[in-house]
Structures are given as C-alpha cells and as structure tokens.
C-alpha cells in the first residue's frame, strides 16, 4: 500500500514536472525567479528578484543551473546586468515568460547609471538563453524623442553563447548586440519593430568569430543584421528579412577606424520590401579590410539596392584620404525583383578600388512592369557571368 502511494506520488510529481517542461534534477539545479520575490505582474519592478536569483544561478557549483522565468507572466525590469564569471561551465536561462522594459517616462534610471543597455549579459561562458518567451523593449517611448536610446539585449564576452527560440519586439535601438562572443549559435528568433522605427537593428555583431546565425524572421526599422569590425567566420543562413535595411557588412572605418572583417557567408536569405539587400558599407577615411565574403541564394522581393557596395559613405564629411580595402566578394544565385532600376551598385573607393568581385548567376528584374534594371560600377574589378542585368562595367 505504502509503495502504491509512493508510486502515485512519484507519478504526480513527474506529471507536474512535465507540465512545466522543466525537470530539476540533482544534475541541473532549477532556480525559479518566482521563489525570489518576483511578481511577474508587468507592473512591479522585478529587477531585485532577478539580481538575487542570478547570484544563486551564477554561483551554483553543481551541474548546469537553470534560471526559470515562467510562462504566463510578464516581468518589468529596469536596466539590469547579469555578470559572470559563473561557477558552472554552462547556464540555461529558460525565458518562457515575457520581459518588458519600463516606459521612457520612468526611465531616469537609465541615464542615472550611465548605461546604454537595457539587459546585459557579460563574461559568461556556456550561456544558453531560450524558452519561447518574449522581450519587449517598449521602444515607442524612445523613437520620437531621443538620440541616445538603449540597446535592448547586449551580450559581451560570452563564449559559446546559444540564443534561440525567442521573440524580440520594439527595442529602443538595436534589439540584440553581440560583442566579443566567439563560438556562438543564434537561431530561431523572431525580431519585430515597425518599419519606420529609427535604428532598430535586429542583430549587431562586433569583435566576434565563429558565429552561426540561422532561421530568423526579422521585420525592423534598420539593418536586419549588421556585421562590424573585428568579426570573422560568421555564417548567416535562412534569414527572412523585411521590412528592414537588409544584411550589412559595416559600416566600417568610421572615424578613421582600422576595420577587419573576413569570412562572412550569407546563404538562403530573403529580402522583402527592404531598403537594401546585401550591402557592404565603408566610411571614407577608414582603413583595414573586408574580404572573403559570399552572398549565395539570395531571394529578392521588391528590394531597393539589392546588391550594393558603398565606399563613399560620409554623412559627417570625414577625412577622404583612405579607404577600407574590399576584396574577394562573391555574389552567387541572386534572384528576384528590385524596386530601383540601379539594382547592382558597386561604388568602390577612388584609390584602391574593390578587387576580385565575382557575380555569378544573377537575375534581378524590376518590380515595376516595363522597367529595366541596370548595374553601375565605380572602380570595381572582377568578373561576372550569367547576369541580368549585364554587368559590363566590371573591369577584368
């Protein structure tokens, strides 16, 4: 009888655990933020509870600790930083519920502590963030007023970061910034902000290498993905971008920066109604290089500037004496429709120009019936084959 009750009890416990989809075992201790005083009502400031639970999660010495942010609740967080180094080799932040930023009217604290980030994770190895939850930056309260808006989610010095299965909406500025995080995997994210919301990049990467980005749905007011300096070996596949400003390398070389970007591979990405498709953008006066970059299987639906290299970016009239060297850039199987006639624009620096630019199997037609598309070049060197429009301007 006793053992029957015990079995029944175990069964109940097991089904309860299944319901929450999280099993805490001795291997992986579970820390539920609700047990640390979080309200999850979307009104109360839950920052203290999050910092408290983080201390225990980060300090846990056994297994892979799990920080559970439960489903069905909304947690209001002031600007907050989750810092390492942590004791265990991996940490799972199970974000099943929603995180919401304060409205800007209540945001004096942002300036107060000099942060330009809402949620920051830094110096953590083996961080896994997933769980199907939503991160809402409440950007509308910033977009109309402010030049210094915060990034919603910022990862700094997080090796082996895994970020997946989340929805990010309405960031004041960039939705996600990744800086100095190598060997990371970013997948299955939905990132949404209105087409006219300023500077709401989807994902910005800098100073990072060996990053896989795949399976993203992005509709934003600025770049879907931007790759900045000191970045290499980044593969971006299966991204649906648009509205937005496309996938950008750069801008590189601002304020005379020595930029280094190489081995970036973009494949099977679509651009629907975007301001740009695949873009390489460098400031006049910069130096360094962007090289070994491929764009393959690119699908365009009424995209403006589908293929663009812009080495004359200079809104602030910077020094014009140098340029970032752009070379070994391949565009292969770029198909679809352009909303502008100048579908391919290779506008390279006056001094060294771009070299080894290869375009193969390109077919970009106009989205406007009866219009043609054309390619333009300035100091671009390389070759093309099977291209509509003709790229006769490319020097061999």
Ligand X SMILES: *[C@@H]1O[C@H](CO)[C@@H](O)[C@H](O)[C@H]1NC(C)=O
Q: Which residues of this protein are in contact with ligand X, per CB under 6 A?
A: 21, 96, 131-132, 165, 188, 212, 235, 238, 240, 256, 265, 268, 270, 285, 287, 319, 321-322, 363, 365, 388, 390
Residue 125 corresponds to which tokens in the numbers above?
């190895």
CB of 326 to ligand X, least distance (A): 16
Q: Which residue is at the shortest CB distance from ligand X?
A: 132
Shorter beta-carbon distance to ligand X: residue 84 or 256: 256
> Sign of torsion, CA 168 282 155 293?
positive
**Residue number with CB closer to ligand X (8 or 319):** 319
114 or 369: CB nearest ligand X: 369
Catalytic pick among 156, 168, 175, 245: 245
- To ligand X, the closest distance from the beta carbon of 354 in angstroms equals 18
Which residues is 262 bridged to in the sheet? 232, 291
Given the DSSP bridges, would you call strands 354-366 and 117-122 parallel, antiparallel or unpaired?
unpaired
Provide the minimum distance between the beta carbon of 212 and ligand X in the complex, in angstroms, as a whole number: 6
Q: How far is the CB of 92 from ligand X (least distance, A)?
A: 11
Task: Give the tokens for residue 283.
Answer: 């400031």
DSSP letter assigned to residue 123: S
Q: E strands of 114-272, at which residues? A: 117-122, 127-130, 134-136, 151-156, 162-169, 176-179, 184-192, 203-206, 209-219, 225-227, 231-241, 247-252, 258-272
Burial class from Cβ neighbours inside 10 Å (0-12, 13-18, 19+) for residue 14 reads: exposed
Give the active site residue among 222, 223, 310, 347. Answer: 222
Q: How far is the CB of 199 from ligand X (least distance, A)?
A: 24
**Active-site residue flag, 245:** yes
Burial of 5 (0-12, 13-18, 19+ CB in 10 A): exposed
d(CA 236, CA 246): 12
Closer to ligand X by CB, 243 or 285: give it: 285
Q: How far is the CB of 131 from ligand X (least distance, A)?
A: 5
Residue 39 or 292: the one with the smaller Cβ distance to ligand X is 292
Strands 278-283 and 225-227: what pairing?
unpaired
CB 329 within 8 A of CB 310: no
**46 is known as an active-site residue:** no
Give the angle 104-196-170 at the CA atoms, nearest 5°: 40
Of the pair 90, 365, the CB lying nearest ligand X is at 365
Residues labelled catalytic: 222, 245
């Amino acid at each position: 009888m006793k053992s029957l009750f015990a079995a029944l009890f175990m069964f109940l416990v097991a089904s309860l655990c299944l319901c929450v989809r999280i099993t805490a075992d001795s291997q992986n201790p579970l820390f539920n933020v609700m047990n640390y005083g979080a309200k999850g009502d979307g009104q109360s400031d839950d920052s203290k509870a999050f910092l408290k639970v983080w201390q225990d999660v980060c300090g846990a010495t056994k297994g892979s600790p799990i920080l559970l942010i439960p489903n069905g609740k909304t947690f209001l967080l002031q600007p907050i930083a989750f810092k390492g180094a942590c004791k265990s080799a991996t940490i799972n932040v199970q974000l099943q519920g929603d995180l919401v930023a304060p409205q800007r009217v209540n945001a004096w604290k942002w300036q107060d502590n000099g942060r330009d980030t809402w949620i920051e994770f830094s110096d953590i190895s083996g961080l896994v963030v997933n769980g199907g939850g939503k991160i809402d930056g409440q950007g509308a309260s910033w977009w109309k007023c402010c030049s210094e808006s915060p990034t919603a989610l910022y990862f700094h010095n997080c090796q082996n970061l895994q970020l997946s299965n989340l929805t990010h909406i309405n960031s004041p500025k960039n939705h996600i910034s990744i800086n100095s995080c190598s060997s990371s995997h970013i997948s299955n994210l939905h990132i949404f902000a209105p087409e006219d919301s300023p500077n709401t990049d989807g994902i910005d990467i800098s100073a990072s290498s060996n990053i896989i980005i795949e399976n993203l749905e992005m509709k934003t007011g600025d770049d879907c993905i931007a790759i900045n300096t000191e970045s290499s070996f980044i593969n971006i596949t299966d991204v649906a971008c648009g509205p937005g400003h496309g996938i950008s390398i750069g801008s590189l070389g601002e304020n005379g920066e020595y930029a280094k970007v190489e081995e970036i591979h973009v494949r099977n990405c679509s651009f629907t109604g975007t301001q740009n498709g695949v873009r390489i953008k460098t400031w006049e006066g910069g130096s360094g290089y962007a090289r070994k970059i491929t764009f393959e299987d690119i699908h365009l639906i009424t995209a403006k500037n589908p293929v663009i290299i812009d080495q004359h970016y200079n809104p602030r009239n910077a020094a014009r004496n140098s340029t970032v060297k752009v070379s070994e850039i391949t565009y292969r199987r770029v198909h679809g429709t352009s909303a502008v006639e100048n579908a391919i624009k290779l506008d390279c620096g006056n001094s060294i120009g771009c070299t080894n630019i290869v375009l193969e199997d390109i077919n970009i037609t106009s989205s406007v019936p009866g219009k043609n598309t054309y390619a333009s070049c300035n100091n671009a060197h390389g070759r093309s084959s099977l291209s509509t429009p003709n790229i006769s301007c490319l020097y061999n």
